[in-house]
Amino acid sequence: MGKRLLVFLHGAFLSLGKAYGLRPGRKGRAGISLPVYQDEIMKYACFDIGATNLKMGVVDENGIFLEYESEKTPYTYEELIKRIRDFSLGNSCSAVGIGIPGNVSDGSAYCPNLPVLNGHPLETDIEALTELPVSVENDANLAALGEYIFFETESTGNMILLTLGTGVGGGLILDGTLVTSESAAFEVGHITLNFNGEKCGCGKRGCFEYYCSMNGLVRSYNELSADVKFLKAADVYKQFKIGDKVAELAFDKYANSLAHGMASIANLFAPLKIKIGGGLSEMSDAYLHTAVKVFSKIVFPALKDKVVIETAAAKNRAGLLGAAALCMVHG
């Protein structure tokens, strides 16, 4: 299969809402108030398969969660697909959307951090088990898609979502279109911040991910601190909250790296919004203000004051919302 682009026109989305009798104007704000249904609406079985946890949700076409569960990711492929089948059929869903920490190429999953999926035709296998339409996509792409469909208006044509966590990933919406993982585009974690920097697993040096992942933050703290050493980003954040100067410095360094990464990406795609998701988005009060300040100084002048940078609204359920959006556009 070649490069595949999914088109998400908001006009079409609104038509879809009307077709199922949603109250006009309800679209676009997941989880704020309960919708008024005039007819039965579609509900989707949504999965976010992580290296540690398997998140599962039943999400309706209005972005409302009807069910949510999280459990340890099964150890074997057979257990995993059985769990997906049981959850999907047990909740009488009309389609299945799945996010994976990797991509799908020629029908097979490739996930460097989740070998249990590697080489398996996940989409085909779940379709055979459930007899439902199944769509699979990269988890960061789905987070971007969910954020775009459920929390943005049609005027946000170009949007980027960065997931800052164990690694650095992201999803790109260009003119209302999600650039999917089959194209292997938008590996934002591996743009170069410092070509003389440390070697990355991808083969280059000084990648964005090296500095802006959780490990990058912890490494900064440990380099700056003469005595106390930490293993987790959450520990650095705790220190920041109690006024530790070293933690403040580590977050400033982090903010500076983040700003440079974001400016490079913005210069390429001119997004109206950059949204911050992933585990580190929960610590954004420690770095986002500084990152925005630095960003506005270094971004290409024509983009100055034109890019809104904010934390993602969907929090840790963004992937599941994106899986629901994927089901909707795939029909």
Question: 180 or 213, CB closer to Zn ion?
Answer: 213
Q: By three-state DSSP, how is residue 251 classified? A: helix
- For residue 138, the cross-strand partners are 100
Strands 95-100 and 65-72, by their bridges, are: unpaired
Shortest Cβ 207–Zn ion spacing (Å): 3
Question: 83 or 204, CB closer to Zn ion?
Answer: 204
| Residue 288 to residues 174, 202, 275, 285, 291, Cα–Cα distance (Å) | 24, 27, 11, 6, 5
Shortest Cβ 28–Zn ion spacing (Å): 35
Question: 191 or 318, CB closer to Zn ion?
Answer: 191
Shortest Cβ 320–Zn ion spacing (Å): 28
Residue 39 CB coordination number (10 Å): 8
Q: Are 22 and 41 in contact (CB under 8 A)?
A: yes
200 makes contact with Zn ion (CB under 5 A): yes
Shortest Cβ 100–Zn ion spacing (Å): 20
Which parts of 173-192 interact with Zn ion (CB under 5 A)? 190
Question: 17 or 101, CB closer to Zn ion?
Answer: 101
Which parts of 82-101 interact with Zn ion (CB under 5 A)? none
Which parts of 204-233 interact with Zn ion (CB under 5 A)? 204, 207
Question: 156 or 220, CB closer to Zn ion?
Answer: 220
Instruction: Report long-range pairs for 297-306 (Cβ below 8 Å, ≥24 apart).
Output: 298/259, 298/260, 298/263, 299/262, 299/263, 299/266, 299/267, 300/263, 300/266, 300/267, 303/266, 303/267, 303/270, 306/270, 306/272
Shortest Cβ 113–Zn ion spacing (Å): 14
Q: Which residues bind Zn ion (CB under 5 A)?
A: 190, 200, 202, 204, 207
